Amino acid sequence: MPCTTILVGKNASYDGSTIVARNEDSGGTNFCPKTFRVVQPADQPRHYTSVLSHVAIDLPENPLRYTCVPNAVGDEGIWGAAGFNAANVGMSATETITNNERVLAADPLVELRAAQGEPGQEGYVPEMPGGIGEEDMVTVILPYISSARDGVRRLGELLETYGTYEMNGIAFSDVSEVWWVETLGGHHWIAKRVPDDAYVTMPNQLGIDSFDLNDAYGEQRDHMCSEDLRTWMAENHLDLTMRGDGAHFNPREAFGTLSSRDHIYNTPRAWYMQRALNPHQSWDGADAAHTPEDDDLPWSQVPERKISIEDVKMLLSSHYEGTPFDPYGSGSAADRLRYRPIGINRTGHLAVLQLRPYAPGACRAIQWMAFGCNAFNTLTPFFANVDTTPAYLAETGAHASTNDHYWTNRIIAALADAHYQSTSSLVERYVRKTMAAGHAAVHAADKGVAALLATGNGSDEGSDAERIDATTPARAEQKAIARADDQVAAGTGMGASDAVRRALAQVNETIAQNLKAETDKLLDDVLYASSLKMRNSFTLSDH
């Protein structure tokens, strides 16, 4: 998928969280309805077969519960996209990236080959399944990992065993680390840990710009790779480093692309995001140190200030505001159409995976969700430690409707886009109100969860909904956090209590009900404003 990713290390975020965020954008002129669901261990397949590549994989017998954002229409498979498992591990898959011709020649992609002829006939060649791809990755990885590093290792094993038919970047997170994996050809891969005090911007191209093979083959503090990467690179002359030491190299130069397509489709997105997070660097004008078409924009940077959830939403909704390249701006016609926006019309969803170190393990994972075009939607928090998700997000239909969140946002965006100046203030107020309400709901729920845990995982009397609204002294909260951390360490996952999960599901339902009310109101307001601007209007009337 032609997506955009932002990764934030724990010391670069506003509250010490690790943050993984990605727009999932449909390709070309496609629009893909998405849903937000929970998969229980009993519903996880034990034998998995890909729809697109036909690869068959036997899966372990002990899957964890996990959230995901699958396609609403399953004709092309699951496409689970992003979620958390019951061990507080997050995964976002995938960002489509690029490999150069030398890499693809050295390790060709593993593509599905159709059968030739008929069985039993002379010359019959059976079907050759392809490797794994974006369709499969969340399903075959997320339920089976206990840390971000564990996710890197499982993905690496699958790539080396089955291969892949496409080039992808994949993110894994836990409360301490964020890791980024990039695939190389059919079976090879590299992974790098996001620096704790930095952020990473990823458009649709191979992005890692420095790699330490000694670390990858040694301590693996910040780097991991496929087992034979060093010899494979040497045999195929992939390292382009001048006067190198054989250990440190630039993967973007060795494995990636530097094409004119990158300059209009990919690098401008990284330029704009970094321009916003490091505004005092030189970004604009003829003498700018960094331009939208630079091939050497850094993979990671330390931001000038800590990054909030609102910053992530703004960046992944952006369309080059404040530059000549804004399609809604006042630049020339050529400039306004020059670069591919981040907040593009064909976004299916945005998932922001936040792991909060100060929260009890039972409510540590927040999956912020937005559906449709980000320039006209909002970002809403949902707790991941639940058994079900609200119908408003889980029951997306195949066709346009105002009964679910995805399609309502699509309708709003189509109306508002044509009348951007008249409707943008309406969208801004909607975003501010709903995100403030979301933060407030999370704060209240944290206190309620601490109360449940402090009283023995919800064994006290009273309904879950009543207990979730309770206030809790700081000392009790700290005891609850310690107990929840012990549960995670013991492998029991995010909060052993059914009461906690039920209570958080009720919180999510309340958040969704408020979201629906505000989204319906925005639809009313945008429809009214857009109707006034119809070209067949006439000021004179009978009344």
198 pLDDT exceeds 50?
yes
Residue 463's pLDDT is: 37
Instruction: Answer whether residue 311 shows pLDDT above 70.
Output: yes
pLDDT value, residue 239: 97
pLDDT at 482 over 50: no
The per-residue pLDDT for range 217-261, each reduced to its tens digit, is: 999 999 999 999 999 999 999 999 999 899 999 999 999 999 999
Within a 10 A sphere around the Cβ of 289, how many other Cβ atoms? Answer: 8
Question: How would residue 465 be classed by pLDDT, with cut points 50, 70 and 90?
Answer: very low
Helix ranges (DSSP H) in 14-114: 101-106
Lowest mean pLDDT, pick from 176-185, 454-463, 519-528: 454-463
pLDDT of residue 29: 83
The percent of residues in the chain predicted with pLDDT above 90, rounded, is: 87
Q: Report, as an integer, the average pLDDT of 403-415.
A: 98
- Model confidence at 466, pLDDT cuts 50, 70, 90, reads very low
- Look at residue 452 in the predicted model and tell me its pLDDT: 86
Structure tokens at 535: 């070209």
**106-110, 403-407, 479-483: lowest mean pLDDT where?**
479-483
Q: Which residues contact 129 (CB under 8 A, 6 or more apart)?
A: 50, 53, 54, 55, 56, 112
- The whole-number pLDDT of residue 269 equals 98
Cα–Cα distances in angstroms (integers) from residue 335 to residues 323, 339, 340, in the given order: 9, 8, 11
Mean pLDDT of the chain: 92
The catalytic residues are 3
- For 167-234, list the strands marked E by DSSP: 168-173, 178-184, 188-193, 199-202, 211-212, 223-225
Q: What three-state secondary structure class fits 307?
A: strand
Q: Please give the residue that has the higher pLDDT: either 62 or 451.
A: 62
Assign 455 a pLDDT band (cuts: 50, 70, 90): confident
Q: Residue 477: is its pLDDT beyond 90?
A: no
Q: What is the pLDDT of residue 457?
A: 53
142-158 mean pLDDT: 98
The SS3 assignment for 358 reads coil
pLDDT score at 461? 31
- Between the alpha carbon of residue 368 and those of residues 200, 223, 311, 316, 379, the distances in Å are 19, 28, 13, 13, 6
Q: What integer is the mean pLDDT of 508-524?
A: 98
Model confidence pLDDT, tens digit, residues 418-446: 999 999 999 999 999 999 999 999 999 99
Q: What are phi and psi of 517, to 5 degrees?
A: -60, -45
pLDDT band at 14 (very low <50, low <70, confident <90, very high): very high
The reported pLDDT for the residue numbered 1 is 62
Q: What is the pTM of this model?
A: 0.93
CA distance 319 to 303: 20
CA distance 26 to 344: 10
Tell me, what DSSP letter sits at residue 368? E
pLDDT band (50, 70, 90) for residue 543: low
**Least confident window among 38-42, 305-309, 482-486, 534-538:** 482-486
Q: Is 348 helix (H, G, I), strand (E, B) or coil?
A: strand
Q: What's phi and psi for 165, nearest 5 deg?
A: -100, 5
Provide the pLDDT for residue 464: 36
Percent of the chain with pLDDT over 70: 92
Q: Do the Cβ atoms of 257 and 206 come closer than 8 Å?
A: yes
* 142-176 CB burial, b ≥16 within 10 A, e <16: bbbbbbbbbbbebbbebbeebbbbbbbbbbbbbbe
Question: In the prediction, which pLDDT does 286 show?
Answer: 85
Around 470, how many Cα atoms within 13 Å sit in the side-chain half-sphere?
A: 24
Residue showing tokens 């505004």: 279
pLDDT interval class at 33 (50, 70, 90) = very high
Tracing tokens 């301590």 back to the chain, one arrives at 219
How much is the pLDDT for 497?
78
Residue 491: pLDDT over 50? no
Cis before 94 (ω within 30): yes
Q: Which residues pair with 20 in a beta bridge?
A: 7, 353
pLDDT score of 460: 32
Q: State the residue for tokens 């006034």.
A: 532
How far is it, in rounded angstroms, from Cα 35 to Cα 390?
A: 10
- Mean pLDDT computed over 111-116: 97
pLDDT tens-digit profile of 343-360? 999 999 999 999 999 999
Q: Residue 469 above 60 pLDDT?
A: no
